Amino acid sequence: MSPSNSQLPPRAKVGSKPQKKLPQKKKKKSPFKTFLKFMLIVIIVAVLAIAGYVGYLYLKADSTVLETGNNNPVAPEASAKVKPVTMLLLGTDYRPKTGTHLTDVMMIAAFNPDTKSATIVSIPRDTLIELNGYTQSKANSYYPKFLSQEKKSGLIATDEMKAMFSKYMDVPIDYATVINFQGFSDVVDALDGVDVNISMDMCYIDNADGTNINLKKGPAKLEGEDALGYVRYRKSSSGCKPRTKESDDFSRNQRQSEVLHSLIDQMQTLGGVTKIGKVLDAVADNMETDLEKDQLKNVIATYWNISKDNVKFMPVTGTWRSPYVYVDNEELSKAKQSLKNEIAGKSVESVDSSTDTTNP
């Protein structure tokens, strides 16, 4: 009988050593797959870091800036995360030494969460305001008047300012925020200064309120007090030797835009981002706002990393005829439309306006 034709391997002989398995070749790892895994880890860490940082901002805002807000609820559909908001931004000359509240800076800002963009219109401080129901006066004089009438009228000054500028700009204004000179200076210092290109020498000395502006033409990094002097400078004083050229409202508005753009640049750097806590501390004691606390959180979450390329500045100019600035009606109309376009989510280019060289 023939042996079975099985395909089984021959049995090992008793006492023989087991056969060694041939080593298997290891599969080479794909460099591309390794890179993808690395990138995935980086992205996860970045997302967690951003989420943690936004959470930190919430907590920081709760303990500082939000003390100036209110506890009114914000409806989901009114959240700044989903709805465009408009805000009147006022910078006052208030300091303990003077006690004045003239608004040297007046801006109307519109923010859109869908486009992650903003349009900011600046109004010259000496603009003649001519509106039905309001006494004709310089734009910067209304806020102190409304403040002085608060107790008698029962009307809040910032509400009065919102109503007036809503009528003047033909757009609804949701909120108002007021920051004084000290707050501006402290914010610049919190970001370790601001980079500017000074167009001319500037000198002004006023011992009464401690103002000491002494800036030289050329690129510079300014600390808080010097940055404040840079955006405020109007004319040279008798104590300056030599005297320096005067500056009009329109040039001041341009410098305000320059400084704000530079501050946004500072905030976009890693070093700037880590200083946001200091920025919130800086404005805590020098800012008033009628933003609800929850709405301020919504604004922080939506716009804390806004790019300066998505922030359009539109300074309104005009003609100086003492003691007023008579704004250019065509420019004012374009500024009004740009705010409306921002609210509607339409992209518009900022207006390049020529400035009157006559000094106020």
- Kindly give the confidence (pLDDT) of every residue in the chain, 360 residues in length, as a single tens digit, with 9 standing for 90 and above: 444 454 555 555 555 555 555 555 555 556 655 555 555 555 454 444 444 445 555 555 555 554 556 788 999 999 999 999 999 999 888 766 667 788 988 999 999 999 999 999 999 999 999 999 999 999 999 999 999 999 899 999 999 999 999 999 999 999 999 988 888 888 899 889 999 999 999 999 987 777 889 999 999 999 999 999 999 898 999 889 999 999 988 898 889 888 888 887 777 675 666 677 777 777 777 888 898 888 888 888 888 778 878 889 898 999 989 899 999 999 999 999 999 999 999 864 443 333 343 334
* CA atoms in the 13 A half-sphere facing the CB of 39: 6
CA angle 180, 226, 106 (to 5 degrees): 35
- Parse the chain into domains and list their residue ranges: 50-344
Distance CA 263, CA 334 (A): 26
Tokens standing for 36? 């993808």
- Is the CA virtual torsion 118, 119, 125, 128 positive or negative? negative
Place of tokens 């907590």: 59
- In this prediction, residue 1 carries a pLDDT of 47
- In this prediction, residue 51 carries a pLDDT of 45
Distance CA 285, CA 283 (A): 6
Could you name the CATH architecture of 50-344? 3-Layer(aba) Sandwich (3.40)
Burial of 201 (0-12, 13-18, 19+ CB in 10 A): middle
Contacts of 355 (CB under 8 A, 6+ apart): 248, 250, 251, 254, 317
